[in-house]
Amino acid sequence: MGRLEPQVSDAAAPFWEATKQRRYLVQWCDACAQPIFYPREVCPRCLSAGTLLWRESKGTGTVHAVSVQHRPANPTMADMVPYAVALVDLDDGIRVMSNVVNVDDPATIVVGQAVQLTWEPLADGCNLPLFEPAGPVKES
C-alpha cells in the first residue's frame, strides 16, 4: 500500500506543481509583507486577495514540537512506524507539519533540532516535502 497522497486545492496548486521540480514555495502577501501557511485565496492578516505571490524557500528550519508515532495514524503508514511527526518552524516565518525522516531512531529528534528539506516521490509526479536532521540542536 502506498502513502496517502494529498488532495490539491486550487489555492495550493502552484505549491504542488513546484514540487515536481523539488522546489518548496511559500505563499506571501505583498500588501502586508507576511508569509502565509496554509495556501489561501485571501490573506488572513489584511484580507488582501490580489497581492498573494509565491517565493521559493530554502527549506531550512527547526523542530518546534515532535511526536513519535508507534501506531500508524493511517493504514498507508503501517510499514513506516515508528515515525516522527513534527511541527517545523521554517526560516521563512511559517510553521508546517511534516515527518522528520532519515534517522535511525525517530526518538532522537528533539525540539530545537535543525532540519532541512528532503523529498519523497509521489505517484502523480509531485514530491512530498519532508524534513531531515541538518545539524545540532539550536539553543533558544
In sequence order, what E strands does 1-140 have?
25-29, 34-36, 52-56, 60-69, 83-90, 95-100, 113-121, 127-137
Helix, strand, or coil here: 86?
strand
Rounded to 5 degrees, φ, ψ at 107 are -70, -10
Pairing of strands 113-121, 60-69: antiparallel
Same domain, 96 and 122: yes
| 2 located within any domain | no
Same domain, 134 and 111: yes
Same domain, 137 and 97: yes
- The DSSP line for 11-46 is TTHHHHHHHTTT--EEEEETTTTEEESS--SS-TTT
Please tell me the predicted confidence (pLDDT) of residue 46.
Answer: 95
Residue 63 domain boundaries? 59-140
Same domain, 36 and 63: no
The C-alpha cell that represents 51 in the structure block: 497581492
Same domain, 96 and 132: yes
Same domain, 64 and 127: yes
pLDDT along the chain (140 residues), means of 10: 77 96 97 94 92 95 96 86 96 96 95 96 94 77
Same domain, 72 and 128: yes
Same domain, 105 and 48: no
Please tell me the predicted confidence (pLDDT) of residue 76.
Answer: 82
Based on the structure, what is the number of domains in the chain? 2
| 32 located within any domain | yes
Same domain, 40 and 84: no
pTM exceeds 0.95 for this model: no
